[in-house]
Amino acid sequence: MAKTGIFYGPAKGSVAKVATIIAQQLGEDSTDLSTIKDCDASILNSYEKLIFGISTLGRNNWDSEHEDDDWDVFFTHLKEVNWKNKRVAIYGLGDQINYPDNFVDAIGWLYERLKDLNVDVYGPVADKGYQYNDSEGLIDGVFVGLPLDEDNEPEKSPERIRDWLVELKQEGF
């Protein structure tokens, strides 16, 4: 069985913690973990199943000029990947309480970039049980990936991850 590549950024913190949980639940022998900082198209091309983990920065960071982060660099590699026959899923971290108008926006940003390349993205999640005002990760009434709030609802993450992975397995992961 081919391994699932789990790529995440930033390299530390809650996104990395969730990547590890996903790898444990899928089976560490059937997954590879890697930060997006260490990733290029040749690495992505070696997997048929990919899970991307991304976080949404606070609004104060969006409004200020900042240097490219690891995701900005990573996005430049997407056009070089052969996306044919790949299964892709996204999870994202956000803060429903402090940033309710931008909850897990990054899921939507990544999704849009992938859709522009005709990539099939799996694992939509209903917005039931989340408290937020707006999200660019919500398209046609569902989140286009798994939204998690490790700041305010870390106790809900294990069940949400487990349920999402059950769905992904049914979709061929």
Q: For residue 49, is pLDDT > 80? A: yes
Dihedral sign for Cα 157, 159, 165, 171, please: negative
Domain that holds residue 39: 4-170
> 106 with 61: CB under 8 angstroms?
no
Provide CB contacts within 8 A for 92, sequence distance 6+.
53, 54, 55, 56, 104, 106, 107, 110, 137, 145, 146, 147, 148
Q: How many residues does the chain have?
A: 173
Which pLDDT score, from 0 to 100, does residue 40 have? 87
DSSP state at residue 2: P
| For residue 124, cis peptide bond before it (omega within 30 degrees of 0) | no
Which pLDDT score, from 0 to 100, does residue 60 have? 42
CA distance 113 to 90: 12
> 51 with 13: CB under 8 angstroms?
no
68-110 tens-digit pLDDT: 478 888 888 899 999 999 999 999 999 999 999 999 999 999 9
Count of the separate structural domains present in the chain: 1
140-152 tens-digit pLDDT: 999 999 999 999 9
**Domain holding 89: CATH number?**
3.40.50.360
